[in-house]
Structures are given as structure tokens and as C-alpha cells.
Amino acid sequence: MSVTQAPPKGELVRRASHLIPLLREKALWMDENRCMHEDAVDALAEAGFLKMRVPVRYGGFGSDMRTIIDVISEIGRGDGSTSWTLAMWATSAWTVGLFPDAVQDEVFSTPDVRICGILSPGAIVVPTNGGYIVNGKWSFNTGARQSMWNTNAAVVPTADGGHEPVMILTPISDLEIIDDWYTSGLRGSGSVTTIAKDVFIPAERVLPMGPVLAGQHLSKLNADTAIFKAPFMPTACTTVSAVALGLAKAAKDAFFERLPGRRITYTSYDSQSEAPVTHLEVAEATTKIDETGFHAYRAADMIDNKAESDEPWTLEERARVRLDLGAACQRAKEAVEILDSASGGSSIYRDVPIQRIERDIKTLNLHAILHPATNLELYGRIICGLEPNTPYL
């Protein structure tokens, strides 16, 4: 296996910026066709973004979290669905890096392999000779139709009659796809439903979830690599916070692009840019976008610094990453809503980006792991001295 030299960080961000015009051009198509455009998928691969979270020994870049935020947020300036899909692919490639090394050899033998992933257990896994049989159904399987593999959450029955959560890895070709992705937002992400009917999974492709969440990974070769030292939830949460940041920046770009020459209808303002109301709006939105970035990068720095120093994670720190994710989503949504409501009646046409950005950020905020109220409540419990009310942190 050849080892690729990872491009310097600035180079990856430049490549992401370079993709923005293409993504903006395809965004409406993706919104209408409810999946990513092949040109966008190819462009992500060509830029090397599908290698960012792949272990270095397979030609991956092993990019740190700051780089991940830089790139995924920049892609989000181009298109929210593409940014979200890239976040899923990056996270799931990283998740495969937690599996035994023989499994990784198989999955990563395909360069730029695309792996989609689901966190909520939608299936039951039953032991059989040499492995397990899985049956179940997962909704919201982002990018499934354009992926080769799928990391999926499931439960396995335990001796005491209970269930233990596991992470399983299946080739997409083993799953049935139901295209039910008719949604209000993130339409281009093609987050369809997938079904497993009596699918056999070899034992090494089933990972108990408890140790995964605790940060105990099965890969021996990745054990000492910086990016694989981070626990699962902080890694996944920080990665997706970049999507919120990208969407908020996209809204600002979209607003300022339309501002010159726009009037405020039925008022005496000849130019929206001269109205003090506009000044309050753009200043407030801009400071909130800065704050979105603060939260995303604070979480990223925590992950990168801990990987460097080998310091263990406290419960409060894990909860703070969830808080940062919730806060990033909340501030980004507030910023987008301000700019959206300042964009006038003409902005509701489907070919005007701001209305799609607004639908995308709202959708992001409704995700069970990203929802601000859920994350704020969790962090609040911890700093009030209570136990967490979820294992997902």
C-alpha cells in the first residue's frame, strides 16, 4: 500500500474554496433530485477529501480536527447537503478505523472509499456460526446510494434478556434501499432508508458500542495514531458542527451578493444597504457567525490538544463538546434566520440560495444529536452535579 503525502493544511482549504462555485451551481439540482450530483462526489474525491480521516497506511491523510472543520465548513459555503454528506463520510471512515485491522484492510483497499453511517440502533443482530445475522431498518442513511460500505448501529441480545448496542459494518450491496427522502431540508444529502433482511455479518465486523463510546478501540495499528485517540462522540459531534458553520457563512455570502441595488419595498429607502435596520441585522448575524466558529473550533482544539497530550477526557469536557455542537447549531440558525428574513419576498424562489440554506440549517437543528435544547440540557445537568441522561457523550 502506498503512503500518500498529506497535502499541507492550507492547501486542503484552498481546494475546498475552489470547489464552492461548482457546488453552488449544482445545489439546485441536488435539492430537486434529492441526492448528490456525481460531479460533486467526483470533486470531493479529486480534492482528496475522502482521504482526510482514512489511516495514513492506506494512503489517507489522518487530518486533525481543525483541518476537518476548515474543509467541511468551506464546502458548506458551497452547499449544505454536500457538506453534511462529507461530514458523514469523514466520520464513518474514521469509525472503520476503530474496527480490527483485517477489516480495515478490506474496506480501505478501495481508494477514496465512501462509507455512510448511522448512530441510532435500528436493527437486531443475532449470533450464528462465525458471525451474526442482522435484521432491521435504518432511516436517515445519508449518502447510502453513493456509498460502498455502511457503519450501522444495532443491538445484540444478552444472556440476561437485555440488549447491548453494537456497531456493525456492512457492504451497501447487502442492504435494500427505500427512497423515502422527500424532505424540507438537506434534500441533496439523499438520506434514504436502508433495510437488512437476514444479512450475515462476520464476527470481526461487529463492534460492541460500550467500549467504542468509552474510547476503547479494536484496531491495534491505529491505537497510537493521534486522530484515533479521540473518543467517538466528541469526534462525530465536532465534525458535524462544521456544517453549521459553513451554512451560516453561506447565508452571509448569499445576503451580501444580493444586497447591492436591492431596495426596501414600500419604504423610502432606495438602498437596503443604507438602512440602519440592515446594519443591525448584518452586524448581529456576523457576530453570531463568529461565535459559531468559536464553538466549532473550541471543540476541535480540545480534541487535537488531548490527542497531543494524551490527557484523559472528563465527563464535563465530553458534555462541553455536545454543548459546543448545540451552540454552534443554535447561533448558526439564528444568523441564518436574521439574514433570511432580511432577504425579502423575492428570496423564496427555489433558485435563490438563502431559502435552501434556511431549510438546511433548520433541518440540522432538528437532528437528535445536534438539537440545541438537548445539548444545553445535558451540559446543564452535568454542571449542576447530576449524572448524564444519555450514554451518547
Of 56, 81, 89, 64, nearest to 13 by C-alpha is 64
Strand partners, 49: none
79/324 with CB nearer another protein: 324
Report the chain's terminal Cα–Cα distance, integer Å.
35
Write the single-letter amino acid at 371: H
194/278 with CB nearer another protein: 278
Query: Can you tell me which of 161, 162, 261, 276 binds another protein, judged by CB under 8 A?
Result: 276
Rounded to a whole number of angstroms, the minimum distance from the CB of residue 69 to another protein is 15
Q: Is 291 in the site for another protein (CB under 8 A)?
A: yes
Q: Is 342 in the site for another protein (CB under 8 A)?
A: no
For residues 91, 94, 96, 102, the Cα torsion angle rounded to the nearest 10 degrees is 170
**163-171 vs 206-208, strand pairing mode:** antiparallel
Cα→Cα distances 278→50, 87, 234, 273, 347, Å? 40, 33, 37, 6, 16
Site for another protein in 231-260 (CB under 8 A): 259
Rounded to a whole number of angstroms, the minimum distance from the CB of residue 91 to another protein is 24
Distance in angstroms (rounded) separating the CA atoms of residues 332 and 338: 10
Q: Is 337 in the site for another protein (CB under 8 A)?
A: no
Q: Is 376 in the site for another protein (CB under 8 A)?
A: yes
Q: Is 282 in the site for another protein (CB under 8 A)?
A: yes
Of 196, 125, 133, nearest to 167 by C-alpha is 125
Query: Can you tell me which of 11, 46, 290, 308 binds another protein, judged by CB under 8 A?
Result: 290
Write the single-letter amino acid at 258: R
Q: Is 279 in the site for another protein (CB under 8 A)?
A: yes
Q: Is 77 in the site for another protein (CB under 8 A)?
A: no
Rounded to a whole number of angstroms, the minimum distance from the CB of residue 373 to another protein is 7
Query: Can you tell me which of 82, 91, 347, 375 binds another protein, judged by CB under 8 A?
Result: 375
Q: Is 315 in the site for another protein (CB under 8 A)?
A: no
Question: What is the per-residue DSSP string for 103-146?
Answer: HHHHHTTSTT--EEE--S--EEEEEETTEEEEEEEEEEETTGGG
Task: Kindly give the residue spans of alpha helices, DSSP state H, lying in 173-231.
Answer: 209-214
Q: Is 386 in the site for another protein (CB under 8 A)?
A: yes
Q: Is 264 in the site for another protein (CB under 8 A)?
A: no
DSSP 225: S
179/316 with CB nearer another protein: 316
Query: Can you tell me which of 161, 261, 312, 384 binds another protein, judged by CB under 8 A?
Result: 384
70/281 with CB nearer another protein: 281
- Segment near another protein (CB under 8 A), from 41-49, 174-182, 280-288, 349-357? 280-288
- Segment near another protein (CB under 8 A), from 116-124, 188-196, 350-358, 377-385? 377-385
| Cα dihedral across residues 288, 85, 35, 75: positive or negative | positive
The angle at the Cα of 167, spanning 177 to 132, to the nearest 5 degrees, equals 80
User: What are the residues binding another protein (CB under 8 A)?
Assistant: 259, 273-274, 276, 278-284, 286-287, 290-291, 294-295, 298, 323, 327, 331, 373, 375-381, 383-386
